[in-house]
Amino acid sequence: MTSDPRRPLRTIVATDCGSTTTKAILIERVGDEYRQTYRGEAPTTVEAPFEDVTRGVLNAIAEIEELSGRKILDGEKIITPSGASGDPKVGVDIYISTSSAGGGLQMMVAGVVQSMTAESAQRCALGAGAIVMDVLASNDGRLPHEKIERIRSLRPDMILLSGGTDGGTVTHVVEMAEYIAAAEPRPRLGMSYNLPLIYAGNKDARSRISEILGKKTALTITENLRPVLERENLGPARAKIHDLFLEHVMAQAPGYKKLISWAGAPIMPTPAAVGLIMETVAKKQGINLIGVDIGGATTDVFSVFHGIFNRTVSANLGMSYSISNVLAEATLDNIMRWVPFSIDEQDLRNRIKNKMIRPTTVPQTLDELQIEQAIAREALRLALIHHKSLATGLKGVQQVRSISDVFEQTASGKTLVDMLKLDLIVGSGGILSHAPRRVQSFLMMVDAYEPLGFTELAVDSIFMMPHLGVLSTVNEQAATDVFVRDCLIHLGTCVAPIGQGARGARCADYTITFPSGRELVKGTLAFGEVRLFPLAVGEEATVAMAPARSVDLGAGKGVPVERRARGGVVGVMLDGRERPLQLPTQTDERVRALKHWHAALNLYPE
Amino acid sequence: MAHTYTPGLTVTPRTVVSKKRILPLSGTVLVEAGEAVTAATVVARAELPGKVHVVNLVNQLGILPEDLPDYMVTREGNRIQQGDVLAETKPFLKWFKTQVRSPITGTVETISTATGQVILREPPRPVELFAYLDGTVAEVLPGQGVQVETTCAFIQGIFGIGGETWGTLVMGVASPEEDVTAAHFTAAHAGKIVVGGAFVGAEALARARAVGVKGVVVGGMHDQDLRALLGYDLGVAITGTETVGFTLVLTEGFGRIPMARRTFELLRKLDGRKASISGATQIRAGVIRPEIIVPLAPDEQIQGIEAGQWGEARGGIKVGDPVRVIRAPFFGRIGQVVGLPSDLQMIPTESRVRVMEVQFTDGSRAVIPRANIEVIEG
């Protein structure tokens, strides 16, 4: 079902087969630009009683047919190309899809040194859209038999083995291969085939690896992902993961062979596609961005800083299936600090567990909504901490230092996530995309991420980033057009001075010059205060900040800054709540401060 | 989606349940299609590869890995006994001889000249797969396992811990509103599956373990007591492998929640019967709920509990359907659907959602998001 490459794409139907629902969107060329026009949704049908993923895909597309009046299906086939029958309202030019059904792609990775090749292998697998079940390394502190037991007990979809730089010692990576062979690992799906294993380590060890693992696994050898300590080469191994995902993993899942035959481009794991669109947009617009997708079971964080893409998955931080784990990791006090009332601990714990076992329920009362949003803040915060620890420069690299570096001895492996250089935060997932008021999503992300200086925020309207990621492999222009025009709901800009000060003391003076003759606004932002100024989507204002002597807005302490701030459905927020963000420790004072902020932002109904 | 369907948990006096019993790795199926089995029948068997031991010989002998074969006394594939010599040095003087002995009985799996380590494997461990249900083998999956089928009363819980077990079902309390306390568990409950009412606490659970019950089925419990029972905070809803001494099935959820009367009445009618239960719960893709299965005779009917349709067969939710509220502020209350407005309505959080009007047993009414309602199926 591949379209003719010479023919321009005018109509595209894309699906994302998720764990619970299959979401379809229609993208059409309207004038000179591409727009997302219709969407349909149906339950995913990869499990019993249907056991055929294409049923859900056809149902979701049928909903688009109904809404758009376009005939796309001919029985159980997608009609391509559009207009071939002479009727422009029949068919589409291409069908594309992503998939995370059945738990997505689950991998185990292994390397030699935990902070070097094992970490590179982990970054490689995460970037390819996998959930990493475990990271094994020669120096991970586990005894050999513990490693072997672990490999055996996990049933991943595939293993990525790396280790050693090219030309370096082979002993340790061969040792890891021996452990894997001894474990006789079995794949997650099916009993009848060998587990796919990608070797991307020291090239001198290839023949040994083939001897040891060739008969026990479906071995694929590719370029070393860390050929020298100073450089990662993740591309070839990542491409192999995608190939094996299609050939082995997807081929075992019910209905996927048919789905693959329908698609005009390779089916991608959902997170890989989301990462791809973020990377594409960041590069095209020359910005640094963080994207987050907070789901029921996991929270994915993507970042692009200075063109370097990273992705992490916090596998047990989510808003339903793993909501109890957020409580366990964040602690009750950290969750309740965001809520302007108190609740009996036992009652709260029971409520959270009940959400875990009945994940589709929604908050009916305002108290329940505030508790859920408080939990989301902590899940987002913890997932970013996790991301920062993995989105780093390469560790173990020798640095050339000059005399000027004597006073700034930064270690190698410093995080790439620089909140002051961050331009855009994109939030996705039910709790952010479907918050009753958009300002609630805005504040959840600000509270969790504590952006510094000027940062724009947006949410994904209907979670179409996966579709756009796979579309970018076929037509980058179409993907970025739709991303900018239809995918993002621009919330506005947060302006957050860095510094600490007594509550009520002067933090910064501000002057905001609005477009089209609207009267400028001048004032003083105090510590512990937030102010919100409406500024519509598509508008820009000039924000001039004159900070107090101890306060920094990116140009240095006390140095005035003037920047353009983009508007959105929320507007421009001046955040004087100190950085790092400080909440009063006394309960009465904290509740008073929260209520004050909520009122200033009109966060909840009266 | 063609219709609104709010799935609930199945509570039915008579149905046919079919269970796939699959080995963790290929093995031998021991029964034939059509054969009658009991829960304790071993239907298939496999051999799990033995535990692996790694011995780094070159470090102990002070030699280079590539020279290792010259020092080996045994070869790959050889059987060895604990204490057998694996390798030894060959000095001029016997006094200086160094020997490395096997820490286990098993086989020599590999001798590596790259790393200098030898991998030894213990003998395989047999793993036996039980039928879990009293029933009939409906299908044999060669080398993998079987499908066992039984006509039974079937009750799904909402959450559980612990694996599959079977035993006699006994009522521990007289009403679904009653808590099951430590005093309810006696020595007579050893090996039994005890049914409680609204709540079980930490003390009662400790007593249940002490008397040796096989299972506890109850409406609700506190999360704090679950943490105390497990010894850790359960973060993700995937259970079934816990070993707390018995299997626990909650029918309603966390907190003190009277067991649904229909569930309680059905269990009461099954008092004294053999039941198979499992606490395994998985709420992600491929939902698994805990279950209580009580096999019935071919033409047996449980009187007084009406059978109904369940799953997709029952169609959408209808006015008159019995429902239970599954979220605050009406959590745990049971009522009947009296209105199903089709338009989205704004709820106090300002979300616009589909709702239903429910009349509770005390005659009061409330508007509740459809997502917060569960149909009581059966």
What CATH number has the domain bearing residue B337? 2.30.30.30
Quick check: is B201 in a domain?
A: yes
Q: Residue A493 above 90 pLDDT?
A: yes
Query: A405 pLDDT exceeds 80?
Result: no
B156: pLDDT strictly greater than 90: yes
Whether the per-residue pLDDT at B139 is higher than 50: the answer is yes
**Cα–Cα distance for residue pair B65/B57, rounded to 1 Å:** 9
Residues B186 and B232 in one domain: yes
Q: Which of A366-370, A429-433, B8-12 has the highest mean pLDDT?
A: A366-370
Question: Between A and B, how many residue pairs show a Cβ–Cβ distance under 8 A?
Answer: 170
In a domain, B93, yes or no: yes
Q: Is the pLDDT of residue A435 over 50?
A: yes
CATH number where B61 lies: 2.40.50
Mutation target among B58, B115, B367 for the A interface, most CBs of A within 10 A = B115
Question: Is residue B143 located within the same domain as residue B183?
Answer: yes
Name every chain A residue with its beta carbon within 8 A of the beta carbon of B224.
346, 349
In which band, very low, low, confident or very high, does the pLDDT at B307 lie, cut at 50, 70 and 90?
low
Confidence of residue A4 (pLDDT cuts 50, 70, 90): low
B interface test, pick of A358, A441, A604 with most B CB neighbours within 10 Å: A358
The Cβ of residue B20 has, within 10 Å, a number of other Cβ atoms equal to: 12
Confidence band for A313, pLDDT divided at 50, 70 and 90? confident
Residue B1 is predicted with a pLDDT of: 31
Contacts of B350 in chain A (CB under 8 A): 436-437, 605
What pLDDT digit, counting tens, does each position of B186-231 carry? 999 999 999 999 999 999 999 999 999 999 999 999 999 999 999 9
Residue B291 and residue B150 in one domain: yes
Tell me the residue ranges of DSSP E strands in A148-237.
158-161, 196-199, 218-221
A354·B327 Cβ contact <8 A: yes
Find which of A41-55, A242-256, B137-151 is predicted with most confidence, using mean pLDDT. B137-151
- The reply to whether B193 and B76 lie within a common domain is no
Supply the DSSP symbol for A361.
Answer: -
Q: Point out the domain boundary residue: B60, B89, B121.
A: B121
SS3 content of chain B, % helix, strand, coil (to 5): 15, 40, 45
Q: Which domains does chain A have, with CATH numbers?
A: 11-101 (3.30.420), 104-258 (3.40.50.2300), 289-394+412-601 (no CATH)
Please measure the distance between the N-terminal and C-terminal CA atoms of chain B and give it in whole angstroms. 23
Helix, strand or coil, per DSSP, at residue A61: helix
pLDDT, tens digit (0-9, with 9 covering 90-100), for A384-398: 999 998 888 887 666
Nearest beta carbon to residue A182 from set B52, B65, B159: B52
End-of-domain residue from the set B262, B295, B328: B295
- Whole-angstrom distance, CA of residue B351 vs CA of residue A435: 8
The reply to whether B303 falls in a domain is no
Residue B305 belongs to some domain of the structure: no
Average pLDDT over residues B163-184: 96
Task: Output A192 or A223, whichever has higher pLDDT.
Answer: A223
A214 to chain B, any CB pair closer than 8 A? The answer is no
Both B140 and B93 in one domain: the answer is no
> To the nearest whole angstrom, how far is the Cα of B210 from the nearest Cα of chain A?
26
Whether residue B23 is found in the same domain as residue B59 = no
In A, minimum Cα distance to B238 occurs at: A321
**pLDDT value at residue A579:** 94
| DSSP symbols for A308-333 | EEEEEEETT--SSTTHHHHHHHH-HH
Range among A187-196, A273-282, A369-378 rated most confident? A369-378
With beta carbons under 8 A apart, name residues in chain B contacting A253.
Answer: none
Give the mean pLDDT of chain A: 90
- Indicate yes or no: CB of B235 within 8 angstroms of CB of A324: yes
What mean pLDDT value characterizes chain B? 90
> Which of A193, A313, A357 to mutate to probe the B interface, most B CBs <10 Å?
A357
Separation of alpha carbons A356 and B283, rounded Å? 8
Same domain, B112 and B193: no
The phi, psi pair for A278, rounded to 5°, reads -65, -45
Distance (Å, whole) CA B151 – CA B293:
9
Contact list in B for residue A64 (CB cut-off 8 A) is none
pLDDT in tens, A504-516: 999 999 999 998 8
B157 and B36 in one domain?
yes
Nearest CB neighbour to B351, from listed A101, A316, A436: A436
Name the 3-class secondary structure at A89. Answer: coil
A52 touches chain B (CB under 8 A): no
A253 pLDDT exceeds 80? Answer: no
Interface of A with B in 150-179 (CB under 8 A): 152, 170-172, 174-175, 178-179
B278 vs B11, higher pLDDT: B278
Whether B315 shows a pLDDT value over 80: the answer reads: no
**Residue B66, φ and ψ in degrees, nearest 5:** -65, -20
Domain limit, last residue, from B121, B142, B175? B121
User: At residue B134, does pLDDT exceed 80?
Assistant: yes
B290 and B187 together in one domain:
yes
Q: Which of A63, A316, A354 to mutate to test the interface with B (most CBs of B within 10 A)?
A: A354
Q: Residue B99 forms beta bridges with which residues?
A: B88
**Whether the Cβ atoms of residue B144 and residue B23 lie closer than 8 Å to each other:** yes
Which residue in B49, B283, B348 is closest to A364 by CB distance?
B348
- Specify whether B155 is located in the same domain as B60: no
- How close A303 comes to chain B (CA, Å)? 26
C-alpha A455/C-alpha A290 separation (Å) is 11
- Give domain status of residue B300, yes or no: no
pLDDT at position A330 over 90: yes
Give residue A562's pLDDT: 97
| Contact assignment for A359 to B283 by CB distance below 8 Å | yes
Answer whether residue B308 is part of any domain.
no
* Cβ–Cβ contact A319 with B under 8 A: no
**For residues A110 and A97, is the Cβ–Cβ distance under 8 A?**
no
- Spell A306-327 as b/e; 16+ CB within 10 A means b: eeebbbbbbbbbbbbbbbbbbb
Q: What range defines the domain where residue B365 resides? A: 317-375
Closest Cβ–Cβ partner in A42, A358, A366 for B349? A366
pLDDT at B10 over 90: no
Q: What is the structure's pLDDT at A3?
A: 47
| Average pLDDT estimate for A493-500 | 97
* B66/B214 same-domain check: no
Q: What is the DSSP letter of A364?
A: -
Q: Which residues of B touch A365 (CB under 8 A)?
A: 328-329, 348-349
> Percent of chain B, pLDDT > 70?
94
Please report the ipTM that was assigned to this predicted complex. Answer: 0.89
**For residues A208-219, average pLDDT:** 94
- Chain B residues inside the 8 Å CB shell of A174: 112, 114-115
> Does B143 reside within a domain?
yes
Domain-located, residue B353: yes
DSSP code for A67:
H
> In 10 A of CB A600, how many CB atoms?
13
> What tens digit of pLDDT does each residue of A362-386 get?
999 999 999 999 999 999 999 999 9
Q: Which residue do the tokens 């099935």 mark?
A: B249
> Looking at this protein, which amino acid is placed at residue B196?
G
Is there a contact between B378 and B304 (Cβ–Cβ < 8 Å)?
no
Confidence of residue B286 (pLDDT cuts 50, 70, 90): low
Which tens digit of pLDDT belongs to each residue from A87-113?
Answer: 889 999 999 999 887 667 889 999 999
Beta carbons of B326 and A358 less than 8 Å apart: yes
Q: Is the pLDDT of residue B251 over 60?
A: yes
Query: What's the rounded Cα separation, in Å, for the pair A223 and A232?
Result: 11
Look at B363 and B1; give whichever has higher pLDDT: B363
The per-residue pLDDT for range A535-560, each reduced to its tens digit, is: 999 999 999 999 999 999 999 999 99
In percent, the amount of chain A with pLDDT more than 70 equals 95
Residue B312, min C-alpha distance to chain A (Å): 10
Quick one: pLDDT band at residue A2, thresholds 50, 70, 90?
Answer: very low
Interchain CB distance below 8 Å, A365 and B26: no
Asked if residue B168 lies in contact with residue B39, where contact means CB atoms within 8 angstroms, the answer is no
Domain count, chain B: 3
Q: Which residues of B touch A327 (CB under 8 A)?
A: 233
**Are B72 and B111 found together in one domain?**
yes
- A4 versus A132: the higher-pLDDT residue is A132
